[in-house]
């Protein structure tokens, strides 16, 4: 497991006239609805504790209004907290002075927005250069550098265009290039692909995953879409009414949804394309049969089983060592409705 | 009066006002107070505005002393820079030729001088005030009603204290024009900045923009079309005040109009009135098409 890059500790956010006055009530467990009806304050975030690992993609998921945007804006402090700490590389962002915060935003983190947040009065190159100019680089030099990132996101040649001349997908590529250009280690993405058509969204996910294999940033990615979360997330945290109700390995969340809210999210996904062999195998046991990689999804494992004519196979890790076995019955059970799966706790890992 | 007699109590028919003598004393006290104030501070205030007066006088002299072909060339050049339209440039040249031909050149130069200086004053006070108003809801709550009063109070009413304080002349005229013409630039600056896309602003913050970088790099450029509409309206309103300003001693196209009113000179009044209209149209077309060009990138039209 990699190191923790960002550690969110007991973070609270209450919107309203006098948040501090109602904070104790929230800490004692008052619900979002009661707080609004009895005290006229909106509960944004409630006792958030998340460790975000270095060099991987952490997805924060939840329905609209669950507090995702509020949470991600605390990481670079676009929103001031009511209580709590946001430790990045050992420093509490929420305790920084104005100057330190500006330095943090210029060098340590960058952000991609849902509606792109481009500056319509700047050219594409000007937008991508923006973060670099904030770091103090002369505009000319920054624009020259932006070329490299535009190429990386597939927009070479569009330097002189204005954002309004581009399609939504292209605009978000500019947004992504702008965020990458500053070389910040932390990339914050607030529903960055939600405004795009499904096909273009998948394209952008590919672009991001492709870049990540090379850049290894610490990415915090917000989405309301479970398929997207499963596709790109190394870790998932689920928010509801401003509180984290489950977090961890995506496979765990599918196999053991913490409550009905999450169950509703996971019940309709295509399990064959998401669940991995290692999640449902018998640990340690070896059998007579073909080798199946541990990270393979069930659908592909089924393919191997069917074409080899056997009912079982050995599960191997990246070093080709046998770590367990899996048979057709288990795969079929894994593909079945979640209600069946969640009761078979013995099979889990 | 006896329409209601007997049907309604007497006290409801006669408003309980404060009484003739009391009212007279009340008004007298206010007048006396203001007179004392203006006697005490009038000179200081005059001194305060002296540099402005000097600038105005200098600019007017400059316009009057410059040979007319040069003025026309400069006007045409500015119109071209602003509008990039041959039609507007030709229109401006023809208007100025006609103005000169009908003997209104000098008055037009005087009017141009006061309008330009008033516009400069309005912009340099109005834009910072508008920025401040956009930033703070409290300032907005205080300034908005003041702007409403400035815009709706009849000009003749605020001429009285201005004249009591500063007498008759260019400076009180300039101040009156500015009181009337400043509200639009303040309002539209504030509105423009408040309308700036929230995510574009968040992006500036997220990449570590300082307050100034945010203001000059994002807020003002994105608000520019609105700010420009404000400048345009301010110029229009300043022109509308030309006649009233001439009542308190401002030279220009308003003076012959006043003479025409009191002597029933139809042609004189019409000609000078039309000259004001011509100036207004030239200013309006040039500044509007300049504003539109500023906005081009929003509609996805290629720059140059
Ligand atoms: N500035 C604000 N003032 C009051 N309530 C707010 C404010 N910003 C967000 N909220 C509330 O906080 C909750 C979470 O909002 P948000 O973080 O935008 O949710 P999400 O991004 O998950 O859709 C919502 O109930 C929203 O109404
Ligand atoms: Mg949101």
Domain boundaries, chain B: 22-303
With respect to residue A222, please indicate whether it lies within any of the assigned structural domains.
yes
Q: How sure is the predictor about B6, in pLDDT bands with cuts at 50, 70 and 90?
A: confident
Do A307 and A239 share a structural domain? no
Same domain as A314, residue A218:
no
Distance separating alpha carbons of residues A250 and A230, to the nearest angstrom: 6
> Are A77 and A134 part of one and the same domain?
yes
pLDDT of A287 > 90? The answer is: no
Chain A contact for B155 (CB, 8 A cutoff): no
Q: Is the beta carbon of A287 within 6 A of some atom in ligand 1? A: no
**CATH code for position A59:** 3.40.50.300
* Mean pLDDT, residues A268-296 taken together: 88
Residue A340 tokens, joined:
């069946």
Single residue among A248, A264, A280 that ends a domain in this structure: A248
pLDDT exceeds cutoff 90 at A36: yes
Question: Is the distance from the beta carbon of residue A243 to the nearest atom of ligand 1 less than 6 Å?
Answer: no
b or e along B38-49 (b: 16 or more beta carbons within 10 Å of the residue's beta carbon)? beeeeeeebeeb
A193 inside domain: yes
CA distance B287 to chain A (A): 19
Looking at chain A, which runs of residues are DSSP E strands? 4-15, 42-53, 57-61, 83-88, 91-92, 109-112, 186-190, 218-223, 235-240, 243-248, 282-283, 291-293, 312-316, 322-327
| Look-up of token digits 């913050």 | B205
**Is B208–A102 a contact, with Cβ atoms under 8 angstroms apart?**
yes
- C-alpha dihedral (B73, B77, B80, B83), degrees to nearest 10: -100
pLDDT of residue A85: 96
- Smallest Cβ distance to A119: which of B208, B218, B303? B218
> What is the pLDDT at residue B299?
54
- Give the domain CATH number at A324: 3.10.580.10
Q: Which of A67, A71, A111, A261 to mutate to test the pocket of ligand 1 (most atoms within 8 A of CB)?
A: A67
A201 within domain boundaries: yes
CATH, domain B22-303, list 3.40.50.300, 1.10.3720.10, 3.40.190.100, 3.40.50.970: 1.10.3720.10
- Structural domain total, chain A: 2
Beta bridge partners of A223: A61
Sheet of A282-283, strand order: A282-283, A322-327, A312-316, A291-293
Cross-chain Cβ contact A182/B207 below 8 Å? yes
Residue A210 and residue A307 in one domain: no
Backbone phi, psi, residue A243, to 5°: -125, 150
Q: Is residue A266 part of a domain?
A: no
Do A11 and A50 fall within a single domain? yes
Query: CA A224: distance to chain centroid?
Result: 10
pLDDT in tens, B167-212: 889 999 999 999 999 999 999 999 999 999 999 999 999 999 999 9
Among protein residues, the one with the nearest Cα to ligand 1's atom 20 is A65
Element (H, E) at B9: none
Residue where a domain stops, chosen among A214, A248, A282: A248
| Same domain, residue pair A209 and A116 | yes
As a whole number, mean pLDDT of residues B245-255 equals 92
Q: Which stretches does DSSP call E strand in A101-250?
A: 109-112, 186-190, 218-223, 235-240, 243-248
Residue A53 lies in a domain: yes
pLDDT at site B70:
96
A119 chain-B contacts, CB cut-off 8 A: 200, 203-204, 218, 221-222
Cα of A35 from ligand 1 centre, angstroms:
14
Range of the domain at A170: 4-248
Do A243 and A285 fall within a single domain? no
Query: How does the average pLDDT of chain A come out, rounded?
Result: 91
Percent of chain B surpassing pLDDT 90: 74
Instruction: Check whether residue A242 and residue A278 sit in a common domain.
Output: no
Residues A160 and A65 in one domain: yes
**pLDDT class for A347, splitting at 50, 70, 90?**
very low
Residues A216 and A170 reside in one and the same domain: yes
B208, B211, B213, B291: best to mutate for the A interface, most A CBs within 10 A? B208
User: Which SS3 state, helix, strand or coil, does residue B271 take?
Assistant: helix
Instruction: Tell me what percent of the residues of chain A surpass a pLDDT of 90.
Output: 72
Q: Is there a single domain that holds both residue A327 and residue A203?
A: no
| Residue A19 maps to a domain | yes
- The model carries a pTM of 0.87
pLDDT digits (tens, 9 = 90+) for A66-124: 999 999 999 999 999 999 999 999 999 999 999 999 999 999 999 999 999 999 999 99
- Taking the CA of residue A43 as reference, the ligand 1 atom at the shortest distance is 12
ipTM: 0.89
- Residues measured by CB to lie within 5 Å of ligand 2, the ion: A 69
Segment B29-47 mean pLDDT: 90
Whether B208 sits inside 8 A of A120 (CB atoms) is no
């Amino acid at each position: 497991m990699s190191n923790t890059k960002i550690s969110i500790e007991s973070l609270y956010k209450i919107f309203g006239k006098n948040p501090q006055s109602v904070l104790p009530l929230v800490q004692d467990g008052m619900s979002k609805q009661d707080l609004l009806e009895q005290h006229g304050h909106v509960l944004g975030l409630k006792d958030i504790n998340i460790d975000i690992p270095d060099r991987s993609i952490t997805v924060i998921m939840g329905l609209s209004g669950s507090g995702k945007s509020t949470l991600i804006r605390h990481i670079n402090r676009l929103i001031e907290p009511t209580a709590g700490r946001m430790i990045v590389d050992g420093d509490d962002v929420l305790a920084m002075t104005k100057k330190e915060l500006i330095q943090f935003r210029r060098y340590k983190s960058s952000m991609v927005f849902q509606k792109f947040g481009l500056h319509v009065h700047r050219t594409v190159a000007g937008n991508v250069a923006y973060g670099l100019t904030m770091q103090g680089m002369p505009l000319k030099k920054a624009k020259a550098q932006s070329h490299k990132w535009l190429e990386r996101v597939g927009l070479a040649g569009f330097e002189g265009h204005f954002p309004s001349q581009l399609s939504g997908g292209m605009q978000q590529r500019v947004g992504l290039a702008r965020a990458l250009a500053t070389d910040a280690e932390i990339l914050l993405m607030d529903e960055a692909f939600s405004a795009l058509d499904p096909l273009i969204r998948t394209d952008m996910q590919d672009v991001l995953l492709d870049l990540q294999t090379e850049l290894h940033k610490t990415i915090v990615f917000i989405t309301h879409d479970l398929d997207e979360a499963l596709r790109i997330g190394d870790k998932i945290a689920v928010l509801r009414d401003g509180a984290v109700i489950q977090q961890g390995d995506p496979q765990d969340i599918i196999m053991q949804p913490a409550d009905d809210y999450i169950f509703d999210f996971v019940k309709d996904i295509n399990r064959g394309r998401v669940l991995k062999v290692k999640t449902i195998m018998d640990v340690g046991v070896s059998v007579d049969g073909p080798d199946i990689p541990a990270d393979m999804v069930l659908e592909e494992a089924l393919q191997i089983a069917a074409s080899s004519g056997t009912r079982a196979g050995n599960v191997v890790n990246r070093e080709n060592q046998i770590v367990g076995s899996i048979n057709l019955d288990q795969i079929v059970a894994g593909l079945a409705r979640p209600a069946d799966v969640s009761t078979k706790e013995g099979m889990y890992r | 009066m006896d329409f209601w007699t007997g049907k309604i109590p007497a006290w409801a028919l006669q408003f309980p006002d404060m009484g003739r003598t009391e009212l007279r004393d009340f008004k007298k006290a206010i007048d006396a107070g203001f007179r004392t104030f203006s006697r005490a501070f009038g000179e200081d205030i005059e001194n305060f505005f002296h540099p402005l007066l000097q600038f105005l006088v200098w600019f007017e002299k400059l316009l009057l002393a410059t040979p007319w072909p040069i003025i026309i060339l400069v006007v045409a050049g500015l119109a071209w820079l602003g509008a990039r339209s041959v039609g507007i440039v030709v229109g401006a040249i023809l208007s100025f030729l006609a103005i000169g031909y009908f003997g209104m050149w000098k008055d037009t130069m005087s009017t141009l001088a006061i309008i330009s200086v008033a516009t400069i004053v309005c912009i340099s006070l109005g834009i910072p005030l508008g920025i401040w108003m956009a930033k703070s809801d409290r300032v907005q709550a205080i300034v908005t009603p003041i702007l409403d009063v400035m815009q709706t109070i009849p000009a003749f009413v605020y001429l009285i204290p201005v004249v009591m304080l500063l007498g008759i002349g260019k400076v009180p005229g300039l101040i009156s024009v500015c009181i009337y013409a400043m509200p639009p630039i303040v309002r539209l600056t504030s509105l423009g900045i408040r309308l700036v896309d929230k995510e574009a602003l968040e992006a500036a913050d997220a990449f570590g923009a300082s307050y100034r970088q945010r203001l000059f790099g994002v807020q003002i450029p994105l608000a520019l079309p609105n700010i420009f509409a404000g400048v345009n309206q301010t110029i229009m309103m300043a022109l509308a005040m030309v006649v009233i300003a001439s009542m308190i001693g401002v030279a220009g196209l308003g003076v012959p109009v006043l003479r025409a009113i009191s002597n029933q000179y139809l042609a004189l009044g019409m000609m000078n009135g039309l000259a004001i209209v011509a100036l207004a149209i030239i200013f309006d077309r040039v500044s509007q098409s300049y504003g539109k060009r500023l906005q081009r990138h929003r509609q996805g039209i290629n720059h140059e």
